[in-house]
Chains A and B, each alone.
Chain A
Amino acid sequence: MRRRWLGRALLYAALLAGAALALLPMLWMVSASLMPTGEASTYPPRLLPRAVTLEHYRDLFTRLELGRAFLNSAIVSVSVTLLSILVNSMAGYALAKFRFRGRDRLFALLSAGLVVPVQVSMLPLFLLFKELHLVNTYWAVIIPGMSSIFGIFLIRQYVLALPDDLLDAARIDGAGEFRIYRSVVLPVITPILATFAIFTFLSTWNDFMWPLIVLSDGSMYTLPVALANLVGEHVQDTELMMAGSVLTVLPVLLTFLFLQRYYIQGLTAGSLKG
């Protein structure tokens, strides 16, 4: 009895210590962002602000125009999410439910693509967008994000489980193929579409390397690029940088907190089978 009690105490001590370590950097980020200038650079370090101030958040929008970067991030992430649902669900459906010549070879080709690190494509991709005069536009970030082999496979896997009879019944009723996709297939695969949408939104919002390469003008920067750029100029301004970090992290963290059910389900399902 005594041992069980001790074991339980140790278990919770470890769980709480882990939670503290996981959360501490984020809690400190929020706390420091509310401190008056200079207070985060004192010794001994302060954990909580002596007086809460929102001046750094105001600075982000008035002096540094991070509002523009926020807007850029939102436009890019929402566009990529909506377009990639459409593009990849059509492809995933076609791979799952149609039999046509070349399907298996196409599937093998796409699988091979999963092995290639995306950085390999970036040098020529940059040259291509330069040639198309799309460098420094939203399109340069949106277009490569619209199609995803991972997304196609994720959706295909889910569609495979739909009974063929459902589609055949609609065909006998005389529905066209696009109509079947739109009114029969899409409504029943919304759970996996939700998973994929959240996944795409988070990864587009957080993406750094490609936007850094292809966006050269400050007014087009997404938040991570703008933030990385600010570090160079305002490295001493700890509180301001923390406010910028909060602004960047908050949308994805809230998205995750409210929609984690879909996100976590999809991640575990997709990864265990893939």
Chain B
Amino acid sequence: MTLVGSRDERDAGVVLAPERPAPRVPRLPVRPEHARAAWLFLLPALLLIGIFFFLPIAAAFLLSFTDFDIYAMGDVANARFVGFGNYARLLAEPDFWLALRNTFYFAAVSGPLAVGVSLGAALLVNARATRFKAFFRTVYFAPFVTTLVAVAIVWRYLYHPRYGLLNYGLQALGFQPIDWLGNPRWAMPAIILMAVWKNFGYNMLILIAGLQNIPGELYEAAELDGAGPVRRFWHITLPMLAPTLLFVAVITMIGFLQVFAEPYVMTAGGPLRATTTMVLYMYEEGFRWWRMGYAAAIAFVLFLVILGATVLQLRLGRERAR
């Protein structure tokens, strides 16, 4: 196999070509029936994405400017245009600010924590001296593929103030037991801990791939210069891994800003709304109280928050490239 770069395949980076170069067949001209075939191939996917994703997004935007309430009005036809009314109400609503604060709290703590843990795990698994790499990688990755609802229930019992394993461990070490999910101060840290456990494996996998892309000669050269493991980490591993770390940090943050099932199952947003996140707030307003217009406004604020995070990523990425 030889690697050849060519016009259309530039995006893919490389293309696999046959071993013996065949006599070059003249490239067929672009033909109208090709366009027809292409659109036919695309038709099912585009219909589905159009009707069941793009259209609802546009509709949600319109909905956020109405007072639509299924319970009170039944049909969308009865909804009235209220301009920025929902957004104004949102900004005046303490529950909204609390949900926003909780979401930021959750993402700002569990994001860096998850990335740090993943980096540690990736370094351990990828270390030269580590045997059974595949085994450890599989074990660390396993929590990520499990069903969130199921493991959230498991953690609920691990956090039980009296019978839970976690408090038992704390007491064995001489600490006071903690009412993890019942205390407004501890409920969010408890959910953060669980979310980090659940998600670090995915980042670890990507970081391992990133580590393996760092040329080994760099380490050899540094070793010859007498650099110890700590200096090699700071001066080679970390700078070389920076793009991967940035990527991982951003996708983790975007995912964590949409946190829903963990608080839904473990605390129902409590105690005292201490774990009510943006998506949970949207779900409650939209699907429990049926205030669709108001909930749509929450959804768009969430969208803006996530868009902001993405723009931040692009900006950071550009600075890095400079």
Does chain A bind chain B?
yes
User: Dominant SS at the B interface?
Assistant: helix
Cβ-neighbour of A98 out of B34, B56, B136 (below 8 A):
B34
- Interface pair A248/B147, CB less than 8 Å apart: yes
- Interface pair A163/B16, CB less than 8 Å apart: yes
Cβ-neighbour of B154 out of A29, A42, A120, A163 (below 8 A):
A29
Within 8 A of A (CB), among B220-279: 244, 247, 251, 254, 257-258, 260-261, 264-265, 279
- Interface pair B150/A224, CB less than 8 Å apart: yes
Knowing A8-B129, A160-B8, the reply to whether A260 touches B138 (Cβ < 8 A) is: yes
Chain A residues with Cβ under 8 A from B261's Cβ?
Answer: 208-209, 224, 228
A102 vs chain B, min Cβ distance (A): 9
Cβ-neighbour of A241 out of B153, B247, B282 (below 8 A):
B153
Chain B contact residue count (CB 8 A cutoff): 106
* Interface 9-mer from B82-90, B94-102, B106-114, B293-301: B293-301
20 pairs, CB–CB < 8 Å, chain A vs chain B: A18-B121, A41-B160, A99-B34, A113-B49, A115-B306, A120-B60, A120-B303, A143-B48, A161-B16, A163-B16, A163-B18, A164-B8, A205-B147, A208-B261, A223-B150, A225-B149, A238-B163, A246-B150, A249-B146, A249-B151
- Interface pair A100/B149, CB less than 8 Å apart: no
Residue A125 interfacial (CB < 8 Å)? yes
Knowing A95-B42, A249-B147, the reply to whether A117 touches B258 (Cβ < 8 A) is: yes
- Interface pair B143/A22, CB less than 8 Å apart: yes
Residue B316 interfacial (CB < 8 Å)? no
Cβ-neighbour of A32 out of B25, B157, B302, B307 (below 8 A):
B157
Knowing A161-B9, A208-B149, the reply to whether A128 touches B54 (Cβ < 8 A) is: no
- Using C-beta atoms within 8 Å of the partner chain, give the interface range for chain A: 35 or more
Residue A51 interfacial (CB < 8 Å)? no
B274 vs chain A, min Cβ distance (A): 19
A121 vs chain B, min Cβ distance (A): 4
Q: A25-B158, A123-B295, A242-B154 are in contact. List 16 more A-B contacts (CB 8 A).
A: A15-B124, A21-B197, A22-B139, A29-B151, A87-B45, A90-B44, A116-B57, A119-B279, A120-B60, A120-B302, A124-B59, A127-B292, A164-B27, A171-B28, A256-B145, A264-B205
Binary contact track A220-255/B, C-beta < 8 Å → 1, others 0: 000111011001000000100110111011001101
Binary contact track B183-216/A, C-beta < 8 Å → 1, others 0: 0000000000000010001100110011000000
Residue A181 interfacial (CB < 8 Å)? yes
A153 vs chain B, min Cβ distance (A): 11
Knowing A124-B60, A143-B48, A209-B283, the reply to whether A44 touches B125 (Cβ < 8 A) is: no
Which chain B residue shows the least CB distance to A88? B45
CA distance A50 to B175 in the complex (A): 28
B249 vs chain A, min Cβ distance (A): 13
- Interface pair B209/A268, CB less than 8 Å apart: yes
CA distance A103 to B11 in the complex (A): 15
- Interface pair B41/A90, CB less than 8 Å apart: yes
Residue A168 interfacial (CB < 8 Å)? yes
The 6 A-B residue pairs with the shortest CB-CB distance, nearest first, are: A98-B38, A124-B59, A91-B45, A94-B41, A147-B48, A100-B35
- Interface pair B25/A165, CB less than 8 Å apart: yes
CA distance A24 to B286 in the complex (A): 37
- Interface pair B25/A19, CB less than 8 Å apart: no
B307 vs chain A, min Cβ distance (A): 6
Knowing A119-B279, A157-B12, A165-B25, the reply to whether A11 touches B39 (Cβ < 8 A) is: no
Residue A54 interfacial (CB < 8 Å)? no
Knowing A15-B136, A19-B140, A249-B146, the reply to whether A119 touches B56 (Cβ < 8 A) is: no
- Interface pair B145/A144, CB less than 8 Å apart: no
- Interface pair B146/A117, CB less than 8 Å apart: no
- Interface pair A128/B12, CB less than 8 Å apart: no
- Interface pair A120/B57, CB less than 8 Å apart: yes
B46 vs chain A, min Cβ distance (A): 7
User: Dominant SS at the A interface?
Assistant: helix
CA distance A248 to B148 in the complex (A): 10
Chain B residues with Cβ under 8 A from A264's Cβ?
Answer: 137, 141, 205
Knowing A45-B163, A121-B57, the reply to whether A168 touches B197 (Cβ < 8 A) is: no
B292 vs chain A, min Cβ distance (A): 5
- Interface pair B16/A90, CB less than 8 Å apart: no
Knowing A11-B124, A161-B9, the reply to whether A119 touches B145 (Cβ < 8 A) is: no
CA distance A103 to B303 in the complex (A): 26
Which chain A residue shows the least CB distance to B258? A117
Which of A19, A41, A113, A246 counts the most B-chain CB atoms under 10 A from its CB?
A: A19
Within 8 A of A (CB), among B41-78: 41-42, 44-46, 48-49, 51-57, 59-60, 63, 70, 76
CA distance A121 to B53 in the complex (A): 6
Binary contact track A33-77/B, C-beta < 8 Å → 1, others 0: 000000011111100000000000000000000000000000000
Which chain B residue shows the least CB distance to A159? B12
Knowing A22-B197, A256-B145, the reply to whether A241 touches B157 (Cβ < 8 A) is: yes
A215 vs chain B, min Cβ distance (A): 12
A90 vs chain B, min Cβ distance (A): 4
Knowing A98-B38, A163-B17, A206-B147, the reply to whether A128 touches B56 (Cβ < 8 A) is: yes
Chain B residues with Cβ under 8 A from A178's Cβ?
Answer: 37
A142 vs chain B, min Cβ distance (A): 11
